[in-house]
Structure 1
Amino acid sequence: MPSVTPPRPILTATLIGVVAQFLFTLNIARPSILVFDETHYVPAARRLLALSGPANIEHPLLGKSLIAAGMALFGNNALGWRLPSALASTAVVLGVFWILWVLFHDRRTAIIGAVLTMLNITVFIQGRIGMLDGFMAAFLVLAVLALLRSAYAPPDRVWRRWILGSVLLGLAVGVKWAAAPYVAWAALGFVAVRWRDRAARHHWAGMATLPALATLGAVSIATYLLTFAPAFFYAAEPMTLAGLIPFQKSMYLQQTEILPPHPYQSSWWSWPLMIRPIWYLYERADDAQRGILLLGNPAILWGGLLAVAWCAWAGIMQRAWILLGIAGLWTVSLLIWAIIPKSLGFFYYYYPSIIWLSLALAVAGHHWRDRALHWETAYLAVVALLFVYFYPIISATALPGPAAFRFWMWFPTWP
C-alpha cells in the first residue's frame, strides 16, 4: 500500500452503486409469481410479518425478516419480496469495490472488481429473487471489509471496526448457518497475520490477540442469537429463553435430514465447472414463456479459477498474505461444503465462492497490468458480452416459445 493514502473515491463508488441498483431492480417484479425457493421463504416471511408462528424452521430468521421488511414497505407482491435482495446484491458490489480499495488504494482495480461482480450473472439473479443466500453473501462481504479496515485502522478505530466485522459475521450466520465457518476462517486469518507480524505489529495496532479472538466469538454469537428476537412475539409457539438453545438442535435436525434425490442436485466439486446450473423458472408466466437460469458468467466462473490458482502460487512464492488470503477465501468457501452434512447440494450454494472469484480476478489484473497492457479492457468486454447474451434467460424476458431455451444450452448437462 502507498505511504500516502489517496482520497477515497466516494463519487466513483456512488455511481457504481446507482448503476448496480438500477440493473438489479429493472423489471424485478417480472414474473409476478413465486419463483423457485420463494415458495418456501415468502410464505415464511408472511407469517413472520404477522408474527403468527414459526415457519421454515430449517433456517434462522434474519433473511426471512428482511424479506418481510420489504413486503411491509413495498407491499405483499413481487417487488416487496424481491427488492431487499436487490439491495443486498448492490451491497455485495460496493463491498467488493471497497475491499479492493482498502487492499491496494487503486481506483482502477476497485472499479474492475466491482464491475466483474455486477456482471457476474449469479449476483444479478440472486439480487432478483426472494431467497436467503443473497443476504448471507452481503453480510459476509461487508464483514470481510470491516475486518480488513480494522487491520489498517489507527489504534483509536481498531476495536470499533473489529466489533462491526464480528456483528456482520453474526448477521450472516443469522441468515444461514453456511456462514458459520467464516467466523473460524476470520479467526485463523487473524492469527496467521499476527504470527507473520510477530516481529512488528503492522496490523490491528494496539489490539491484543486473545481479547480480539474472544470478542470475535462472543459478539458474533450474541448477534446471531439476537436475530431470533421476533420469535419471542409469535402468537403461537413463541420462543422462550429456555427454548432458544434447544431450538438450534431442531434446526440442525431439519438441515441434516436425508432428502430424496432432486433433479437439480449436484456435488460441491462440480460447482466450479458449472456442470449443473438450475432453472429457477421456465414456464409460461405473465402471458409469456419466461426463464431464469441460475448460472455464472462463464468468463468469470472459469477464468476466476486461473486467477485463484495464480494468487495461491504467487502468494506462496512471494510470501504475500493478501494473495494467499484471497486464494484461501475461495478455497475454504468451497471446501466447507465437503464437510457440511447436507444430503443434497445445489449450484446456488456456490454463490459466495463466485464473489471471491471476482476479487481474485481483480487482484491478478492489478499485479499483471504492466505486463499485459489492455488485457483487462478486453476481458471486461467479453464479460459484458456474455452478460448481454444470457440476459433473456436470466431476467425472465419474454421468449419466443417453449423450445427457445436451446439457444443458450452449451453442454448436455445444462438443463
Structure 2
Amino acid sequence: MTRPPSCAIPAAMLDRLEERPILLAILIGIAAQLLFTIGLNRPSILNFDEVHYVTAARVLIALSHAANPEHPLLGKSLIALGMLIFGDNPIGWRALSTLAGTATVVGVYVLTLALTRATRPALFAALFTMLGQMVFVQARIGMLDVFMGAFLVCAAVAFVNAMHGTRRGAAMTSWTVTAALLGASVAVKWAAVPYVAFAAIAFLWLRRGHPDRFGGMPWLTGLAILGGISIPLYFLTFAPAFFYAQNPLTLAKLIPFQLEMWELQTQVLAPHNYQSSWWSWPLMLRPMWYFYEPDQGAVRGVLLIGNPAILWGGLVAVLACWWAGIRQKAGVPLAVAILWTFSLGIWAIIPKSLGFFYYYYLSSIILCIVLAVAFHHWRDSVKQRDDWFLVLCVALFAYFYPTLAALPLASDRGFERWIWIPSWA
C-alpha cells in the first residue's frame, strides 16, 4: 500500500529503514543517548533523591557500612560503577542512568517490533518513549527507577522471544535470560516483584491450549528456571555487603535482612508536599519538581512531568486497545492494555504509606507502547495521523525542555510559564 506524504517521517526513508530494522535500532539508540547525555552536568549539585542514592553509592565504593538499607544493592552499585569510571561528579552520578534510558528506548522498539511485526509502530513507540519526558528526566538523574525499567523492558523482549521460540533450546535460552533480567530488576527495587509474578502467570496462561509455545517447554521446567535463576541472582547482588568494614552481611543475616527491608518499605512515613494517590498519576495531577534553585549562575529547575499529548492521549489509546481486544479479539492490543492496567493497578495494593508521581514511570513506558499499538491497529481509520500526533509530541517536548534539562530560567518565578493547573506548582 502506498503511503501518503508524511509531515514527520518521509515515507521513502521509512520504507528503506523498514528493510533494515537492526540499523534503525542502532540509530534510535544513538539518538536517545545523545538526547539524554547533552547537558548531563546540569544541575551541578545533587538532584532530588540523588542525595540518598549517590550517597549510598559513595558508601558502597568505600565498603564502609550499610546505607539506604530499604532498597537492594544493584541500582546503587550501578551508580557507583559510573562514579568509578567518570568520577564523583554529576557525569559520574548519572552516566549509567543515560545508558539505562537508552536501553529502555531501544528495548521498547524491539518489543513493539516483536509484538506487531511492523517497523512503523515500533519506531513510533520508541519515539514516544524518548519524547514522553518521564524517561528523559529519569535517565539524567542518579536514581533507581531507570535501571529497574531497563531490566524489565529487556525482560519483556526476552519473554516474547521465548514465547515465539520454535526450538526448545533457543526458547529455554531466551527464558533463562528473561529470568535473569527479572531477578536483576528486583535487585534494583522491590517494585519489580509483581512483574515476576505477572511473567509466571503469563507463561502458564499462554501455554494453555498452546503447548508448542516456548518451544514446547514443560510448565514445571519453565517455572523452575524462572525461580532457579531470578532468586539466586537477586541474592548474589548483595555480595558487596559481605565486605563492609562495619557490620558486614553474613549468610546467616541475609534472610533476616530482607525482613528488615520489608519493615522499612512498609513503614508509615510523614506526609510529603509532593505525595499523590495512584489513581491521579494517569491524569498527571501532581508532577514533581525534582530541583528548583540557583545553580551555575542561574535559576534552574527539573520538573518530572509527562508529555501531555502522550500521557493524556495514551489513556484514549488504552480504551481503544481494550475495545479492540474484547470486541475484535485482537490479541496484541489486549495484551498491552492488560499490562498497562496491571502496572497501575498494583499500586492500589502495594503497602506503601505514601505515593509519588515517579512511581508511574513504568506505566508511562508501557503507555508509549499502547499508543503505538493503538495507532497501528486503527491505522485504516487514523490514516497516518500518527505523524501529526508525533509533531505535537515534539512541540510539547520542546516547550517543556527548559524545565526538563535544567536550562537557565528568566527569574525566580520563571517556573510559572509551565504551570497549567495550580497543582503543578
TM-score range, shorter chain: over 0.9
- Mapped pair 1:298 → 2:294: no
Counterparts of 1:38-77 in structure 2 under 5 Å? Answer: 38-77=50-89
Query: 1:239 deviation in Å?
Result: 1.0
Evaluate the alpha carbon distance shift between residue 133 and residue 38 of structure 1 in structure 2; reply closer, same or farther with a 3 A threshold: same
* TM score, norm. by length of structure 2: 0.94
Conservation of the 8 A alpha-carbon contact between 2:170 and 2:215: no
Q: What is the match of residue 150 of structure 2? A: 138
Output the amino acid matched with 1:333.
S
Q: What is the match of residue 372 of structure 1? A: 382
Query: 1:187 deviation in Å?
Result: 1.1
Q: Give the counterpart of 2:362 among 352, 355, 359.
A: 352
User: In structure 1, the residue corresponding to 2:111 is in which secondary structure?
Assistant: helix
Conservation of the 8 A alpha-carbon contact between 1:183 and 1:217: no
Q: Give distance in 2, aligned partners of 1:383 and 1:7.
A: 26
Q: Give distance in 2, aligned partners of 1:133 and 1:293.
A: 16
Q: What is the match of residue 279 of structure 2? A: 269
Q: Give the counterpart of 1:157 among 148, 170, 191.
A: 170
Query: 1:8 deviation in Å?
Result: 5.8
Q: Give distance in 1, aligned partners of 2:233 and 2:333.
A: 30
CA-to-partner distance for each residue in 1:60-116, whole Å, 9 max, x for gaps? 000000000000000000000101111111011000000011112211111111001
Q: What is the match of residue 43 of structure 2? A: 31
Evaluate the alpha carbon distance shift between residue 177 and residue 126 of structure 1 in structure 2; reply closer, same or farther with a 3 A threshold: same
Q: What is the match of residue 125 of structure 2? A: 113
Conservation of the 8 A alpha-carbon contact between 1:32 and 1:286: yes
Conservation of the 8 A alpha-carbon contact between 1:48 and 1:68: yes
Q: Give distance in 2, aligned partners of 1:220 and 1:313.
A: 35
- Mapped pair 1:104 → 2:116: yes
Task: Please identify, of 276-285 and 152-161, the stretch whose mean Cα deviation from structure 2 is larger.
Answer: 152-161
Percent identical across equivalent pairs? 56
Output the amino acid matched with 1:169.
L
Query: 1:223 deviation in Å?
Result: 1.3
Q: Give distance in 1, aligned partners of 2:398 and 2:175.
A: 39
Q: What is the match of residue 186 of structure 2? A: 173
Conservation of the 8 A alpha-carbon contact between 1:277 and 1:293: yes
Q: What is the match of residue 23 of structure 2? A: 11
Query: 1:222 deviation in Å?
Result: 1.3
Q: What is the match of residue 307 of structure 1? A: 317
User: In structure 2, the residue corresponding to 1:205 is in which secondary structure?
Assistant: helix
Output the amino acid matched with 1:166.
A
Q: What number of residue pairs does the alignment pair up?
A: 407
Query: 1:319 deviation in Å?
Result: 2.8
Conservation of the 8 A alpha-carbon contact between 2:172 and 2:215: no
Q: Give distance in 2, aligned partners of 1:287 and 1:394.
A: 18
User: In structure 1, the residue corresponding to 2:303 is in which secondary structure?
Assistant: strand
Query: 1:153 deviation in Å?
Result: 1.8
Output the amino acid matched with 1:164.
V
- Mapped pair 1:343 → 2:353: yes
- Mapped pair 1:244 → 2:257: no
Q: Give distance in 2, aligned partners of 1:329 and 1:103.
A: 13
Query: 1:51 deviation in Å?
Result: 1.0
CA-to-partner distance for each residue in 1:148-205, whole Å, 9 max, x for gaps? 111112313000100100110000000000000001111111122122xx1x435212
Q: Give the counterpart of 1:285 among 288, 295, 300.
A: 295
Q: Give distance in 1, aligned partners of 2:383 and 2:417.
A: 34
Evaluate the alpha carbon distance shift between residue 8 and residue 170 of structure 1 in structure 2; reply closer, same or farther with a 3 A threshold: farther
CA-to-partner distance for each residue in 1:237-269, whole Å, 9 max, x for gaps? 111111100000010111111111000000111
* TM score, norm. by length of structure 1: 0.96
Q: Give distance in 2, aligned partners of 1:191 and 1:300.
A: 32
Evaluate the alpha carbon distance shift between residue 323 and residue 374 of structure 1 in structure 2; reply closer, same or farther with a 3 A threshold: closer
- Mapped pair 1:320 → 2:294: no
User: In structure 2, the residue corresponding to 1:272 is in which secondary structure?
Assistant: coil
Counterparts of 1:219-238 in structure 2 under 5 Å? Answer: 219-238=229-248
- RMSD, matched Cα: 1.1
Output the amino acid matched with 2:342.
V
Q: What is the match of residue 192 of structure 1? A: 205
- Mapped pair 1:123 → 2:144: no
Q: Give distance in 2, aligned partners of 1:220 and 1:16.
A: 30
Task: Please identify, of 58-67 and 365-374, the stretch whose mean Cα deviation from structure 2 is larger.
Answer: 365-374
Counterparts of 1:360-399 in structure 2 under 5 Å? Answer: 360-399=370-409
Q: What is the match of residue 214 of structure 1? A: 224
User: In structure 1, the residue corresponding to 2:301 is in which secondary structure?
Assistant: strand
Query: 1:220 deviation in Å?
Result: 1.3
Give structure 2 stretches of 5+ with no counterpart: 1-17
Q: What is the match of residue 3 of structure 1? A: none
- Mapped pair 1:83 → 2:95: yes
CA-to-partner distance for each residue in 1:286-318, whole Å, 9 max, x for gaps? 110000010101111011111111111211223
Query: 1:284 deviation in Å?
Result: 0.6
Task: Please identify, of 370-379 and 15-24, the stretch whose mean Cα deviation from structure 2 is larger.
Answer: 370-379
Output the amino acid matched with 2:236.
L
Query: 1:321 deviation in Å?
Result: 3.1
